[in-house]
Amino acid sequence: MVTMDKKSFKKAYVNKFLEMHGIELKEGTNQQKYEALGSLVRDYVTRTWLRTNKKYNKTGEKQVYYFSMEFLLGRLLGDALLNIGIRDICKEGLAELNIDLQELENLEEDQGLGNGGLGRLAACFLDSMASLNIPGHGCGIRYKYGFFEQKIIDGKQVEVSDDWLRHGNVWERRNSNKAEIVRFGGDIKVEERNGRLTFVHVNYAPVLAVPYDTPIVGYKNGIANTLRLWSAEAVSNEFDFSSFSRGDFLKAIEYKNSVESISQVLYPEDSFYEGKILRLKQQYFFVSAGIQSIIRHFKKHGGNIFELDDKISIHINDTHPTLAIPELMRILLDEEGLAWEDAWRITEKTISYTNHTILAEALEKWPIDMFKSLLPRIYMIIEEINRRYCEELWSKFPGQENKISRMAIIGNGQIRMAPLAIVGSHSINGVAKLHTEILKKKEMSDFYYLYPNKFNNKTNGITHRRWLLKSNPKLTQLLCETIGDGFIKHPLDLQNFENHLNDTSVLDRLAKIKFENKQKLAKIIFQNQNISVDPKSIFDVQVKRIHAYKRQTMNCLRIMDLYNKLIDNPNLDIHPRTFIFAGKAAPGYYLAKNTIELINNVADKINNDSRVNDKIKVVFMENYRVSLAEDIIPGTDVSEQISTTTKEASGTSNMKFMMNGAITVATLDGANIEIKDEVGDDNIIIFGLNADEVLNYYRNGGYSALEMYNNDLRIKNVLNDLINGKYHNDRDRFKSIYENLITYNDEFFVLKDFDSYLKAQDKIDKLYRNKREWQKMCGVNIAHSGIFSSDRTIEQYATGIWGSEVLYKNL
Ligand code: 26Q
């Protein structure tokens, strides 16, 4: 926490500006003003950061390292101001200098180093660890290009590279003196030294891993943890151009390019695995650099390697950083000289793993040949892990060959990352109750039988500091006035808000705040998409990655159905609605891209049909990202969480919406179940097949999409509309969607759930008309959202998995 008054802030700011840009403030551009503010705030944070690191080194507290291929931080300025406690001073001070803080904040590029849920979860966790005084740090890759920028041209998604470092990045600090060398390729020479076999890596290609550190500031507690992102560079003496002959010169350039490509770009697929060698290089690159630097730091401060697991926890975010297991083994065996048994015990106790998906197509596996030539020593270690583990399996399950080959780490010419992660960690968790149950009973049942005590659930959460305090200041103000500000440190206290829901003046204010947030969103929609929408209409929102299992198609089909109904009956009595979509499709995912195009064409048709325009509008907002989510979520009435049951591991936007007083329309999937349990059946709209029904269909068949088509005229009509030229001159345009539903029998039960989805939407329409009841429902959702703060989640990780001390209790 930084203490200062407005006057000294203003003085410091004006000085900073002058010093940085050499001109007077009033002559500066907004970009320059943003840079000066960022730099000033960074200076404030730096002192806290230094103090925190000193404290950690002195006290020897257990350090947690969260390894993740993705950290989807978004913008940092607003958060930093909030957390160091000078946001108001800064806002007022700047206003006196005729500067609008919000305008400067909007100039910051999003740090978009993630695809979606998994990356944003990592960012929320960093915020919570810092705010709960937990020494917890992030380790990942500093991609030169983050998640692509999405443009919509002629209704279609076009990908533009995300050059987020274009204007520099005030938050990061390059630490060349803490670089590490990561070794690829080459050969392993086995030698006997003092009676012990040693493994010497020769002829390898070295890559320099340079860390860029970003401080992660806790909420008003004087703590700043570290997010360390690694950048790949050529080792300088490997390409000393002047000393090369022409042939070597070209080779040197090739080497440099291939090295730099490692941290060049984030893979934009989030649910489909492809065995690309570059992705494997990325994984080993940051994992190896990260573990080497952890051990180096640990030893420098006098750590005893046999106590590593007492002092350090390494958490892997999905299987992407699983090579942390053999890499830690390599260091303990080859560099520290430990016996296998000791190294293995320490590794298993140090590492823990979270699973985020049960989609079979997302499971990581690597071809042995590729793996072996890229990482020869790591491969040997995995072979030995597998050999010992299979021995254990043989003795536990004699004669059960099929089971053992199913469970093995190496099989079918491939290395399977999930089994490796399970065997090498002491804890495996799912991210919501249903998800964990499915892992235990179905997807990982063999492993659960073998290691029942390793499995546990940690339902996801979101940081209420960004997703309530920062993004919805008006609601925060109302909460502070009614229940006090205790909920900021103890989010469960939001429950007290329920006591105020019989007070009509509170409900009036709640409605007014929602309306103002909708006005703000309407303005942004107009600026970005050039569509005018009525803030008095229901804002019905689905924003997330575009994926068949998330069923944006079902949402779009019900809009097409409603449109048909309105044309048939212009007097149809519905409350006006605005349907808002946003989200990116993986560039190679044709069906998802086709869905975006369909939504845009439906939007075009409806928005230009004056017969229905006072009733419905459809908007697809371009380039969904963290900062846009912060604008959309506070202005939402209805939150669409409509995945096919069993497919969404948890979902986290569902939590953000409820915290901002939206009503959820949901299947009983992922964390929607916990949300329902919290708010009760009357404050959420549930529809669709339940998990048992879905699993039963997958197991035994018996579902016919064609039957649905033939027996339900509404379905028949909207499906015909996909291919009759209504939404596109080219009748084949949306054929892939049509075929997926009919020819391929609707894998995600869109048609099966359609009727109950429409009924759920009718219910919403009726509920919305009873203003008071609606406002109360919103209030109940807000009051019960505290449990979904990531502070709760992190406390559970800390006490249940990492064994770290939690200094302030929030439960
Ligand atoms: C794997 C291999 C090769 C290339 C890419 C990938 C890859 C990358 C990202 C696979 C998966 C992801 C991301 C997955 C993800 O975001 N899952 C979501 O995680 C959230 C946080 O737990 C959950 O709330 C969501 O339900 C889940 O879909």
Question: Which pLDDT does position 19 carry in this prediction?
Answer: 95
Distances (CA, A) of 658 to 367, 513, 662: 43, 15, 5
CA distances from 1 to 36, 47, 54, 224, 503 (A): 20, 10, 17, 10, 36
The one catalytic residue among 356, 365, 551, 784:
356
CA of 443 from ligand 1 middle (Å) equals 16
Per-residue confidence (pLDDT) for residue 251, from 0 to 100: 82
Secondary structure in 3-state letters for 120-185? HHHHHHHHHHHHCCCCEEEEEECCCEEEEEEEEECCEEEEEEECCCCCCCCCCEECHHHCEEEEEC
How far away, in angstroms, is 286 Cα from ligand 1 center?
Answer: 18
The alpha carbon of residue 714 and the mean position of all alpha carbons in its chain are separated, in whole angstroms, by 36
The pLDDT, as a whole number, for residue 808 is 44
The Cα 419–Cα 425 span in angstroms is 10
Atom of ligand 1 nearest to the CA of 276: 3
For 565-616, write each residue's pLDDT tens digit: 999 999 999 999 999 999 999 999 999 999 999 999 999 999 999 999 999 9
Q: Measured between alpha carbons, how far apart are the two ends of the chain, in Å?
A: 23
280 CA distance to ligand 1 middle (Å): 16
Among the listed residues 294, 269, 271, 295, the one whose alpha carbon sits nearest the alpha carbon of residue 282: 269
What does the pLDDT average to over 739-753?
A: 98
500: annotated active-site residue: no
**Percent of the chain residues past pLDDT 70, beyond the cut:** 98
What pLDDT sits at residue 246? 64
Q: Are 709 and 569 in contact (CB under 8 A)?
A: no
Residue with the bigger pLDDT between 454 and 1: it is 454
pLDDT of amino acid 608: 98
pLDDT for the residue 307: 97
Q: Is 489 a catalytic residue?
A: no
Mean pLDDT of 128-142: 98
- Burial class from Cβ neighbours inside 10 Å (0-12, 13-18, 19+) for residue 27 reads exposed
Residues near ligand 1 (Cβ within 6 A): 115-118, 121, 267, 269-271, 273, 279, 356-357, 362, 364, 431, 460, 648-652, 670
User: 355: CA distance to ligand 1 center in Å?
Assistant: 9
Q: Encoding tokens for residue 386?
A: 């597998």
Q: Is 544 designated active site?
A: yes
pTM of the model: 0.97
Tell me, what amino acid is at 261? S
Give the chain's domains with CATH numbers. Answer: 1-59+76-109 (no CATH), 60-75+110-460+796-806 (3.40.50.2000), 531-771 (3.40.50.2000)
Cα(482)–Cα(779) distance, rounded to whole angstroms? Answer: 12
Q: What is the per-residue pLDDT across 51-65, written as a single tens digit (0 to 9) for each?
A: 999 999 999 999 999
Return the ∠ at Cα 526 (arms to 524 and 528), rounded to 5°: 65
Name the residue among 626, 670, 625 with its Cα closest to residue 647.
Answer: 670
Q: Rounded to an integer, what is the distance from CA 581 to the centroid of its chain?
A: 18
Lowest mean pLDDT among 123-137, 245-259, 379-393: 245-259
Q: What pLDDT, on the 0 to 100 scale, is given for residue 811?
A: 36
Q: How many CB atoms lie within 10 A of CB 760?
A: 20
Statement: residue 148 has pLDDT above 90: yes
Q: Average pLDDT, stretch 279-302?
A: 98
Residue 244, pLDDT above cutoff 70 = no
pLDDT in tens, 629-641: 999 999 999 999 9
Q: Which residues, other chains included, contact 117 with Cβ-Cβ below 8 Å and sequence gap of 6+?
A: 270, 356, 544, 545, 650, 651, 652, 653
101 and 189 in contact (C-beta within 8 Å)? no
**Is a pLDDT exceeding 80 seen at residue 806?**
no
Q: Is the pLDDT of residue 241 over 60?
A: no
Residue 166 among the catalytic residues: no
Is the pLDDT at 263 greater than 60, yes or no? Answer: yes
229 pLDDT tier (thresholds 50, 70, 90) = very high
Whole-angstrom distance, CA of residue 53 vs CA of residue 241: 39
What pLDDT shows up at residue 503? 98
Give pLDDT tens digits for 500-533. Answer: 999 999 999 999 999 999 999 999 999 999 999 9
Give the Å distances, CA to CA, from 231 to 33, 210, 285.
28, 5, 9
**What's the pLDDT at 528?**
98
545 is known as an active-site residue: yes
The whole-number pLDDT of residue 271 equals 75
User: Sorting pLDDT into bands at 50, 70 and 90, what band is 809?
Assistant: very low
According to DSSP, the residues that pair with 157 across neighbouring strands are 152
Q: Which of ligand 1's atoms lies nearest the C-alpha of 319?
A: 1
Choose the catalytic residue: 137, 544, 647, 733: 544
Q: Residue 184's beta-bridge partner residues?
A: 205
DSSP string computed for 246-307: HHHHHHHHHHHHHHHGGGTB----SS-----HHHHHHHHHHHHHHHHHHHHHHHHTT--GGG
151 belongs to the catalytic site = no
Angle between helical axes of 473-483 and 504-529 (0-180°, round to 10): 170
Closest listed residue to residue 431, CA positions, set 283, 554, 279, 318: 318
Tens of pLDDT, residues 555-579: 999 999 999 999 999 999 999 999 9
Atom of ligand 1 nearest to the CA of 670: 26
SS (H, E, C) 597-665: HHHHHHHHHHHCCCCCCCCEEEEEECCCCHHHHHHHHHHCCEEEECCCCCCCCCCCHHHHHHHCCCEEE
Q: How many CB atoms lie within 10 A of CB 802?
A: 24
242 pLDDT band (50/70/90 cuts)? low
* Average pLDDT over every residue of 649-657: 98
Q: Which among 71, 115, 643, 672 is the best mutation to test ligand 1's pocket, defined by most ligand atoms within 8 Å of the CB?
A: 115
- The answer on pLDDT for 706 being more than 50 is yes
Centroid of ligand 1 to alpha carbon of 122 (angstroms): 11
Mutate to test the pocket of ligand 1, among 143, 270, 458, 648 (most ligand atoms within 8 A of CB): 270
